[in-house]
Amino acid sequence: MKTKRRNDETLLAANECAARIGLSVRALRLYEQRGLIRPPRTAKGWRLYGAAEIARLHEILALKLLGLSLSRITELLQGKAVDLAGTLALQHAALSQQRVRIERGLSLVGAARAALAEGRSVSTEDLIKLAKEANMTEIPTDEIAWRRYEQARPRTAIQIKPVHLENYVGYYRYNAGPVFEVTAKEGRLFIRGPGDDVAVEVFAESERTFFRKAAPVQVSFPATANGLANELVLHTNGHERRAIRIDADEAIKAAEALDARIKSGTPNPHSEATLRHLISEYQSGRPCVDRMTPELAQAVREQFDAVYANLAARGPLRTLQFRRVGAGGHDVYKAAFDTGVLKFRIAWSEESKIIGLRYRDYNS
């Protein structure tokens, strides 16, 4: 069948479309049966694929790359318009992770081959790294991948009655850790976290779900019998983190304790030893997540390739100096390596769990 055109747009027959993308015609039929694509047909019943259909196919394949099953993809995309910008952003992130892993793997394999070529043996530690590299997978779990894509979807703000917002006003605390304050003013809802100078407005998507406009972050308040919210759920980066409502007295005590720590400049007694241990483990290629909350542990595992590549290239840690307690309660350290200086921030819950861990160039 010859290629046709639709309003100056090139249309491909099913077999040509499948061949050029690298799919089977059977896969195209399956996606059509699931309602994911609806190609127009010729008078003789031949299916045609143009820009809209191929953009949808790209979206499906990008989601498969993230680890979503076809059932999840169908649930997510049915009845929704193509979001090419969002899909490209997710695909870029996934491919970037793969690139880091490939570069790391090539470096390990190259070093091992060079050692053998020179008549040297490959150390047990290097063999462990090679075996681990061969066994690693970068595909996130289906549930996390699905949430991450859903959280990145475009959202539309709606108006809800101001009286509903009063049910969400108050203080909420994550796992004996940070306290967040929710306020309402003139029919608008705001959230302020520890160390934040100003509250951030969130916009209603439904009566109980809200979103930020500047980031793929949502907040929801599960329903209760009397309407007053008992929980705040933060939806971000494929995770859901629950905060329990606390009274004003507990929130004030937590704020006073944080202020006292900041003024005294006293770090958590475990921070320095823990950071030294984590840096050593990460430079050795081991994604240690001991004592971390589940959400933080998952984030570390997913980002480990980039972390490992960065820290391994820095060389040995020379000094680790405590600098201050940050506005959000993080202990801030200056880490000097053979190559460069980094700023590390680590935060703890009252249950001695690591709830925050970040690093960046020291002067950035």
**Multiple choice CATH, 162-259, 3.40.50.720, 2.40.128.50, 2.60.120.1440, 1.10.3080.10:** 2.40.128.50
Contact 301, 290 (CB under 8 A): no
Assessment of whether the complete model's pTM goes beyond 0.75: no
User: Rounded to an integer, what distance in angstroms lies between the CA atom of residue 19 and that of residue 42?
Assistant: 20
What is residue 271's predicted lDDT score, i.e. its pLDDT?
97
* pLDDT at 138 > cutoff 60: no
Q: What percent of the chain has pLDDT over 90?
A: 47
| pLDDT at residue 183, rounded to an integer | 97
Is 90 exceeded by the pLDDT of residue 199?
yes
CATH number of 265-361: 3.10.450.590
Please tell me if the domain spanning 162-259 has the same topology as the one spanning 265-361: no
Place of tokens 């993809």: 73
307 vs 152 pLDDT, higher one: 307
Neighbouring C-beta atoms of residue 177, cutoff 10 Å: 20
Within 10 angstroms of residue 348's Cβ, the number of other Cβ atoms is 22
Quickly state the pLDDT bin for 108 (edges 50, 70, 90): confident
CA separation, residue 309 to residues 102, 313, 340 (Å): 11, 6, 14
* pLDDT surpassing 60 at residue 141: no
Domain locations in the chain? 1-154, 162-259, 265-361
Per-residue confidence band for 8, with pLDDT thresholds at 50, 70 and 90: low
> Averaging pLDDT over each range in 17-31, 200-214, 292-306, which range is the top one?
200-214
**Residue 202 CA to chain centroid, in angstroms?**
19
Q: Is the pLDDT of residue 341 over 60?
A: yes
Per-residue pLDDT tens digits for 297-311: 878 887 888 899 899
Predicted pLDDT of residue 143: 66
Q: Which residues make beta-bridge pairs with 9?
A: 6
Q: How confident is the model at residue 124 (pLDDT cuts 50, 70, 90)?
A: confident
pLDDT at 139 over 60: no
pLDDT at 7 over 90: no
CATH number for the domain running over 1-154: 1.10.1660.10
Read off the pLDDT of residues 223-278 as tens digits, 9 standing for 90 and up: 999 999 999 999 987 888 899 999 999 999 988 988 899 999 999 999 999 999 99
pLDDT at 176: 62
Q: Rounded to 5 degrees, what angle do the CA atoms 28, 144, 69 make?
A: 20
